[in-house]
Amino acid sequence: MTQAEKGARFRALHASSGAFLLPNPWDAGTARLLEELGFEALATTSAGCAFSLGLRDNQVGRERMIRHVAELAAAISVPLSADLENGYGARPEDAAETIRLAGLAGAVGGSIEDASGDPRCPVFEKAEAVERVRAAAESARALPCPFVLTARAENFIVERPDLRDTIERLQAYQEAGADVLYAPGLTRIEDIAAVVKAVDRPVNVLMGMRGVRLTRAELSAAGVKRISVGSALARAAIGMVLRAGMEMLENGAFGFGENAPTYADVNALYS
């Protein structure tokens, strides 16, 4: 598929019935594995990328993240959406430039969040956040290939569980030109359903959180269009390494290998 075809395919997925899955690989290898399994589109994870580099989340700058997006986009033949954090700058121009660079790197979608990175005021003021989404939307429309812009309201991630403000922000981001709306951190189906009913754009939800047992069927019934898992796959893999490491250190044992796919099986996946 050309990038234009990937962009058209990604946009079409948002118009299909039910909720589609958008899992988040953290490198080219895991992206190829997920494509091999049959997923129709993938998305990067900023946290997973950071962890793979030995960094904390939000410590990967724009230049390195765009290289990461380009590496994953080149490794797969399905559409790729990019987790672009807050656009790597407070100005609307920063968000716009980040979207432009992601599109040129091969992504056919990307998200801009309203988290400020300032613990004293963890999300941008709404008017400022709206201008950032508007600039990002204008940049997305100017790209040579279709690009699906996702606007994220981060209240629940930064421990401001204000559903009313979250909905008002998403409604404003919709009017500013976002194609998809996303409030990561929602865990109750009634809150998710309230968001879906309050907006007129496809809604993405984050799953893979501890204690949240909602299914794809339940989310589809609530009107959700897209389900991603953020850093959950990367964290699951890291958890396996931690458990295996402790088994070796504490017990001098190597049982972790019993459940691992064989070398030949994994090697064959990359043929």
pLDDT digits (tens), the chain, 271 positions: 999 999 999 999 999 999 999 999 999 999 999 999 999 999 999 999 999 999 999 999 999 999 999 999 999 999 999 999 999 999 999 999 999 999 999 999 999 999 999 999 999 999 999 999 999 999 999 999 999 999 999 999 999 999 999 999 999 999 999 999 999 999 999 999 999 999 999 999 999 999 999 999 999 999 999 999 999 999 999 999 999 999 999 999 999 999 999 999 999 999 8
Same domain, 154 and 251: no
This prediction's pTM: 0.97
Same domain, 179 and 71: yes
Same domain, 121 and 238: no
Same domain, 207 and 84: yes
DSSP readout, the chain?
--HHHHHHHHHHHTTSSSPEEE---SSHHHHHHHHHHT-S-EE--HHHHHHHTT--TT-S-HHHHHHHHHHHHHH-SS-EEEE-TT-SSSSHHHHHHHHHHHHHTT-SEEEEE-B-S-TTS-B--HHHHHHHHHHHHHHHHTSSS--EEEEE--TTTTT---HHHHHHHHHHHHHHT-SEEE-TT---HHHHHHHHHH-SS-EEEE---TT----HHHHHHTT--EEE-TTHHHHHHHHHHHHHHHIIIII---GGGGGSPPHHHHHHHT-
The CATH code of the domain that includes 215 is: 3.20.20.60
Contact 62, 101 (CB under 8 A): yes
How many domains is the chain partitioned into structurally? Answer: 2
Same domain, 192 and 124: yes
Same domain, 163 and 93: yes
